[in-house]
Amino acid sequence: MSQTTKMLIPDAEGFEDAAKILGAGGLVAFPTETVYGLGGDARNDHAVARIFEAKGRPKFNPLIVHVPDIETAKTHVEWGDAADRLASAFWPGPLTLVLPLKPDAGLSPLVTADLPTVAIRVPAHPVARQLLQTFGGPVAAPSANPSGRISPTQAAHVSAGLSGRIEAILDGGACDVGVESTIVGLSDTPTLLRPGGLPVEALEQALGAPLSHHGKSDPLTAPGQMTSHYAPGAPMRLNVTDPEPGERLLGFGPVDCTLNLSRAGDLTEAAANLFHHLHALDAQGDGPIAVSPIPQTGLGLAINDRLKRAAAPRDV
Ligand code: TXA
Ligand code: MG
């Protein structure tokens, strides 16, 4: 489908327009503190099916439902102690909880890929929050990129990937966190399903216990765990301290490089720059990319996870 994609600014009129589009089953990309999401009414089968179509997602992987607050979340999911502890500590923020779906949750079965659980989060970005308020319903939103490509951290990234396929983009500037939310499964023992913008250490501290880690052979894989994902066009090599001639170095720390994730070696800054720099390198051409080693602590877990997928062979 080809259509004109409207660029909306986040003023009263922009929010009204965006809410009207969502209400009519249309798609609006909007900023969250992590990455831009591609939003549709989570109760509307047609709208949710269009999200998959616009992204070119090969199969119906479950989506994250965005709601304005804990009270609204509780209308969709079975709540418990661990959910209470994590949500009160980190919502609004870059944390997604996977919880048992309430029988009368009212969500499209396409959102959950017919699973008995749903992924839900309360985003912190003021534009996302105002959109949820104005719309007044749950918004299903995967990252607003064509399937398998780099997640968007600016409106221009969304427009480069999805223009002509969606109704509108709410432009809220660059995303602060820069990597997707951390996903924790709570339908059984608390389990890390995807590292992300909230460090695991902070979660474990709030829970007062370590998180289980998602096993590779577990049947319920988070599709964000598919091996090749977030891929730029160029081949990538990781943990490189001495780039080969012709390689473009995506650096970390005080190194000589094409682009630096954080010259100061700050992982928060590096996460915020990650997709932004990968987009920029992608736009520059398809010469090989080398990446400096990134420490495996705090936000480094999410950064290394995304880099590993970006560097994975493309034929899987
Ligand atoms: O930061 C984010 O989380 C962004 C912004 C837009 O909120 N969204 C995002 O959505 O990253 P997406 O679709 O790219 O990733 C959603 C992940 C997938 O890996 C999916 O497997 C997992 O959430 N997921 C959704 N529902 C699930 C469920 N019921 N059980 C297990 N994993 C689930
Ligand atoms: Mg994604």
pLDDT digits 0-9 by tens, 146-176:
988 999 999 999 999 999 999 999 999 999 9
Residue pair 162/5 in contact (Cβ under 8 Å)? The answer is yes
Ligand 1 closest atom vs CA 194: 19
Tell me how far the alpha carbon of residue 243 lies from the centroid of ligand 2, in angstroms: 29
Tell me the pLDDT tens digit for each residue of 171-205: 999 999 999 999 999 998 999 999 999 999 999 99
Residue 219 pLDDT class (50, 70, 90 cuts): very low
Residue 31, pLDDT score: 98
SS3 107: coil
From 67, 108, 153, 180, the mutation candidate for ligand 1 (largest count of ligand atoms within 8 A of CB) is: 180
Tell me the pLDDT tens digit for each residue of 66-120: 999 999 999 999 999 999 999 999 999 999 999 999 989 999 988 988 789 999 9
Does 60 score more than 90 pLDDT? no
Ligand 1 closest atom vs CA 179: 1
Nearby residues for ligand 2 (ion, Cβ within 5 Å): 143
From 112, 143, 176, 212, the mutation candidate for ligand 1 (largest count of ligand atoms within 8 A of CB) is: 143
Ligand 1 closest atom vs CA 225: 19
Residue 215 pLDDT class (50, 70, 90 cuts): low
Residue 316, pLDDT score: 38
Taking alpha carbons only, the member of 296, 303, 241 closest to residue 268 is 303
Q: Which residues face 289 on adjacent strands?
A: 236, 248
Domains in the chain: boundaries: 6-181, 236-311
Ligand 1 pocket, Cβ-based, cut-off 6 angstroms: 32, 34-35, 37, 61-64, 96, 98, 112, 115, 117-119, 141-143, 180-181, 183, 193-194, 220, 222-224
Determine phi and psi for 40, rounding to 5 degrees: -145, 160
Tell me how far the alpha carbon of residue 180 lies from the centroid of ligand 1, in angstroms: 8
Tell me how far the alpha carbon of residue 152 lies from the centroid of ligand 2, in angstroms: 9
Tell me how far the alpha carbon of residue 256 lies from the centroid of ligand 2, in angstroms: 31
Residue 271, pLDDT score: 87
Domain at 6-181: CATH architecture: Alpha-Beta Complex (3.90)
| Kind of pairing between the strands at 248-251 and 289-291 | parallel
Taking alpha carbons only, the member of 238, 223, 242 closest to residue 278 is 238
Residue 59, pLDDT score: 67
Determine phi and psi for 85, rounding to 5 degrees: -65, -45
Tell me how far the alpha carbon of residue 63 lies from the centroid of ligand 1, in angstroms: 5
Does 220 score more than 60 pLDDT? no
Taking alpha carbons only, the member of 132, 168, 155, 154 closest to residue 8 is 168
Atom 10 in ligand 1: which residue has the minimum CA distance?
142
Average pLDDT over residues 10-38: 98
Residue 234 pLDDT class (50, 70, 90 cuts): confident
Average pLDDT over residues 62-69: 97
Mean residue pLDDT across the chain: 91
Residue pair 76/120 in contact (Cβ under 8 Å)? The answer is yes
Atom 32 in ligand 1: which residue has the minimum CA distance?
222
Tell me the pLDDT tens digit for each residue of 255-313: 999 999 999 999 888 988 898 899 899 889 889 999 999 999 988 998 999 899 889 87
Residue 230 pLDDT class (50, 70, 90 cuts): low
Average pLDDT over residues 224-249: 82
Ligand whose nearest atom lies closest to the CA of 117: 1
Atom 3 in ligand 1: which residue has the minimum CA distance?
181
